[in-house]
Amino acid sequence: AIQMTQSPSSLSASVGDRVTLTCRASQGIRNDLGWYQQKPGQAPKLLIYAASSLQSGVPSRFSGSGSGTDFTLTISSLQPEDFATYYCLQDDSYPWTFGQGTKVEIK
């Protein structure tokens, strides 16, 4: 199975900060990657698909980039509602695998 490694595991940031999260695949997955936001007690919400395409209804401050093995999710200006845990998910091959998550906390 393809392993997905996210870094950092957690970070503290302030409202208005630019934040970059990283996800690395154990082998090349082209651009077959999505990013999700999960808040406590809720199901995840899709933010980005195909590594860089913004899901409908998601604010434009979220952006994704990368291809092959290295991917990033950037939040250009952190808002109060963005404090959550973020996961990457590869859909290149079964079994689909998730990163272990990055928790974004308030500084």
Residue 65 or 100: the one with the smaller Cβ distance to another protein is: 100
Query: How many CB atoms are closer than 10 A to CB 42?
Result: 9
- Residue 101 near another protein by CB under 8 A: yes
- Cα(83)–Cα(78) distance, integer angstroms: 8
The dihedrals phi and psi of 100, each to the nearest 5 degrees, come to -85, -5
Which stretch in 11-19, 28-36, 58-66, 71-79 sits in contact with another protein by CB under 8 A?
28-36
Provide the CB-side half-sphere exposure for 20 (13 A, CA): 6
The 3 state secondary structure assigned to 58-75 is CCCCEEEEEECCEEEEEE
User: Least Å distance between CB 77 and another protein?
Assistant: 25
Residue 33 or 75: the one with the smaller Cβ distance to another protein is: 33
- Residue 55 near another protein by CB under 8 A: yes
Residue 19 or 51: the one with the smaller Cβ distance to another protein is: 51
Residues at the interface with another protein (CB under 8 A): 31-32, 34, 36, 43-44, 46, 49-50, 53, 55, 87, 89, 91, 94-101
